[in-house]
Amino acid sequence: MSDLIRLQTPLTDEDIVKLYAGDRILLSGVLYTGRDAAHKRLFELLQAGKPLPLDLRGQVIYYVGPTPAKPGAVIGSAGPTTSGRMDAYAPVLIAHGLKGMIGKGSRGQSVLDALKKHRAVYFGATGGAGALLAQRIKKAEIIAYDDLGPEAIHRLEVEDFPVVVINDAYGGDLYADGVKAYARL
């Protein structure tokens, strides 16, 4: 078990090369949200050579569709969604400067290759802990695609948001390591 590492977004190549699968991270700064529909729109803009509604360089996208905020709350429950649904789009976003993604579940080979090629990481957040994770979100505002409702792109300001490095820029894979550790011979 690694010690906790505190990181401030946006992330740099220097931040990324210090991270390894299994590292426990507390992220502070800005995260952007995005799920399937928002990713498709970003991908299509990039394919058409058009500007994006946010600068991806150094950023981290959290795969979440938060629930509406209760009165007095910043945001509703904000748990991670399954990351594989973004695999068709993630390599292009990574090539355009995205440094991190937060979700749950394993990633496809094209994403793993892009992480290595462009120095980026995939973080895991604890599924089923959306109410607890929401407590780490200090501010939330929609910045694009408000027609998508909870799947709109939000700009979140977070403090000590807990994640674990699942896939690092060296090909490390915490999920694969876990399976090997408990495999029967």
Among 57, 42, 46, residue whose Cα is nearest residue 118? 57
| String of DSSP letters for 99-154 | -EEEEBS---HHHHHHHHHHT-EEEE--TT-HHHHHTTEEEEEEEE-GGGGGGSEE
Residues 113 and 97: their CA atoms lie apart, in Å, by 15
pTM as predicted:
0.95
pLDDT at 32: 98
Residue ranges covered by each domain of the chain: 4-182
Mean of pLDDT values over 146-166: 96
- Would you say residue 184 has pLDDT above 90? no
Q: What is the pLDDT of residues 92-105, one digit of tens each?
A: 999 999 999 999 99
Q: For position 127, what pLDDT does the model report?
A: 85
State mean pLDDT over 117-136.
Answer: 94
Place of tokens 């977070």: 158
Is the domain spanning 4-182 CATH 3.40.1160.10? The answer is no
What is the Cα–Cα distance from 174 to 163, expressed in whole angstroms? 13
Residue 85 carries which DSSP code?
Answer: G
Q: How confident is the model at residue 128 (pLDDT cuts 50, 70, 90)?
A: confident
State the pLDDT at residue 1.
46
Q: What is the pLDDT of residue 2?
A: 54
